[in-house]
Amino acid sequence: MVQLRIVAMVMAASLLLGARANADAIKANDWQSTLAAAKGKTVYFDAWGGSETINDYIDWVSSEVKKRFQITLKHVKLNDTADAVSTVVAEKAAGKNDHGSIDLIWINGENFAAMQKQGLLSKGFATTLPNWKYVDTANPTISVDFTLPTKGQESPWGAAKLVFFADTARTGPVADMPKSADALLAWTKQHPGQFSYPAPPDFIGSSFLKQVLLETVADPSVLQKPVDVANFETVTKPLWDWLDAVQPVLWRQGRDHPKSYPAMKQLLADGELGIIFAFNPAEASSAIEAGELPDTVRSFVFPNGTLGNTHFVAIPYNSSAKAAAKVVANFLISPEAQLRKEDPRYWGDPTILAMDKLPAKDREAFAKIDRGVATLPPSKLGPVLPEPHPSWMTRIETEWKHRYGS
C-alpha cells in the first residue's frame, strides 16, 4: 500500500511538472508569436517631452528596440498627457476602433483613471510580459494606481517620490531646511520670492498641491475615496488657507508661476528660487551631472513623508501595433533598461524591479550605481504618502484655476 502511495505521489508530481512545463512552453510560443507580429512595426509612444534627459533615454530605447526587434519607436513629445487621452477619446467618438494614432502612452493617475473608465485601454497585458517576473509586485503601487486597481492595463516603468532640493551655497545646510508644509510656508515668509510651484494642471505643480493637501487635511483617509461634492469645501479648506497664505510671498508675488519643472530648475540655477522640488529622488544629481545645476545642490524630504507613486505605460484599445507596443513595454522593464534608467548619468529614475528576483550579476550592477552626491539613499527618503483618489485633483485643479489662475 505504501509503495502504491509513493508511486501515485511520483505520478502526480510528474503530471504537475509536466503541466507547468507545458504552460511555460505555451507562454514561450505566445511570446514568439508576439515578437513575430511586432517585427517591422512602428510604435507611436506618446510621452511627456519636457526633459532632455528623459528624451535622450527614450532615444536610447528606440535604438535598442530597432536593433533587437526591428521595431521603429517614435517618441511623440507631449506637454500634457491629457492631450493623448483627448486624442483617443476623439478617435473612439469618431468610430476609429482600429488603426489608432497612439500605440503606447506614459501614464498614471487621473489620466489612467479617465482612460480606464471610458474603456480606452487594451485588456490586461502587463502580467503576461516575460520580464514581469522581475517586477517588485510586493509594492502596492504596482497594482493600484491612485487608489484604482490597474487590472494589468498598465506596465510599471518607474518609481517616483516627491523630493525637495536647494543650493546649499545660498540657503545653508539641508539640515536647516523645512521639514513640513507648514515649515515651508514659514520659510517662504522669511525668504519672500524664493519659492514657487508650476501652475496646475502641470503634473509637478499638481503633485505639490497633493502634498500640501495630504499634510493639512483633517482626515487623510477621506482622500482615498472618490470626492464628495457635499464635503469638498470643508475637506479642502486647509489647503486653500495654506495657498492663500503663501501666495503673496511666492516668486513674483504669485502673479506668475514657472511653466514646468524645467523652468523651475532654471530659476534655481539662476538664483531666483531657493527651494524647488521634483518627483524623482535622483533629479538633483542628474541635473548636476548634466551641468544644469551647481554641485552645491542637495536634496531633502519631510520626515513625516512625501507623496509617492509608480508611473506606467499603457496601450490604447485601438492601437495599430499592439504586439510591438507589448515588446517595447517588456523591454522597458528588463534589468538592462531599468539599470540604465536608474543611473543618474542617463536619467536617475528609480527602478520598479525587485532586487531579490534578479540574477546575481544584475543585483551587483544595481548596487554599483553611483547615484550622485545629491541623491538621498532609499533609507533616507522617509515614508510614502499615498496618492489621493484621482477625482480629488480634477476638482482641485478646477478650483485652483478659479482662485489663482490668470
Residue extents of the structural domains in the chain: 38-159+311-371, 163-309+383-404
Higher pLDDT, 406 or 57: 57
When pLDDT is averaged across residues 19-30 and rounded to a whole number, the result is: 57
14-28, 202-216, 318-332: least confident range: 14-28
**In this predicted model, what pLDDT tens digit does every residue of 123-156 receive, in sequence order?**
999 999 999 999 999 888 899 998 899 999 999 9
DSSP state of 40: T
Go through 220-247 and write b for each residue having 16 or more CB atoms within 10 A of its CB, e for each that does not: eebbeeebeeeeeeebbebbbebbeebe
pLDDT at 344: 84
User: Angle at which helices 390-404 and 109-117 pack, to 10 degrees?
Assistant: 120
Do residues 71 and 43 touch, judged by C-beta distance below 8 A? yes
Give the number of other Cβ atoms within 10 Å of residue 406's Cβ. Answer: 7
d(CA 148, CA 121): 14
* Measured CA angle at 76 (ends 73, 79), to 5 deg: 150
* Measured CA angle at 380 (ends 139, 58), to 5 deg: 60
pLDDT band at 220 (very low <50, low <70, confident <90, very high): very high
Quote the cell numbers at residue 145.
Answer: 494606481
Do residues 136 and 330 touch, judged by C-beta distance below 8 A? no
Q: In sequence order, which ranges of 172-260 are alpha helices (DSSP H)?
A: 181-190, 203-216, 232-246
pLDDT band at 288 (very low <50, low <70, confident <90, very high): very high
pLDDT at 384: 86
d(CA 402, CA 108): 25
pLDDT at 140: 82
Judge whether residue 185 has pLDDT over 50. yes
pLDDT at 377: 84
For residue 107, which phi and psi values (nearest 5 degrees)?
-155, 155
Judge whether residue 117 has pLDDT over 90. yes
Instruction: Kindly state the helix (H) or strand (E) to which residue 21 belongs, with its residue range.
Output: helix 2-38
Residue with cell 540604465: 340
- Asked: is 38-159+311-371 a CATH 3.40.190.10 domain? The reply is yes
When pLDDT is averaged across residues 264-277 and rounded to a whole number, the result is: 97
DSSP state of 127: G
261-265, 282-286, 301-305: least confident range: 282-286
Percent of the chain with pLDDT over 70: 93
* Measured CA angle at 75 (ends 72, 76), to 5 deg: 130
pLDDT at 361: 97
Residue with cell 468610430: 95
d(CA 195, CA 161): 19
When pLDDT is averaged across residues 302-327 and rounded to a whole number, the result is: 97
For residue 161, which phi and psi values (nearest 5 degrees)?
-150, 135
pLDDT band at 170 (very low <50, low <70, confident <90, very high): very high
On average, the pLDDT of the chain sits at 92
Percent of the chain with pLDDT over 90: 82
Instruction: Kindly state the helix (H) or strand (E) to which residue 159 belongs, with its residue range.
Output: strand 154-161
Do residues 145 and 309 touch, judged by C-beta distance below 8 A? yes
d(CA 170, CA 53): 26
pLDDT band at 18 (very low <50, low <70, confident <90, very high): low
Q: Name the fold adopted by 163-309+383-404.
A: D-Maltodextrin-Binding Protein; domain 2 (3.40.190)
pLDDT at 354: 93
What spatial distance separates the first Cα and last Cα of the chain, rounded to whole Å? 86
pLDDT at 11: 53
Go through 138-156 and write b for each residue having 16 or more CB atoms within 10 A of its CB, e for each that does not: ebebbbebbbbebebbbbb
Q: Which SS3 state, helix, strand or coil, does residue 354 take?
A: coil
2-6, 217-221, 276-280, 355-359: least confident range: 2-6
pLDDT at 275: 98
Judge whether residue 5 has pLDDT over 70. no
d(CA 295, CA 286): 11
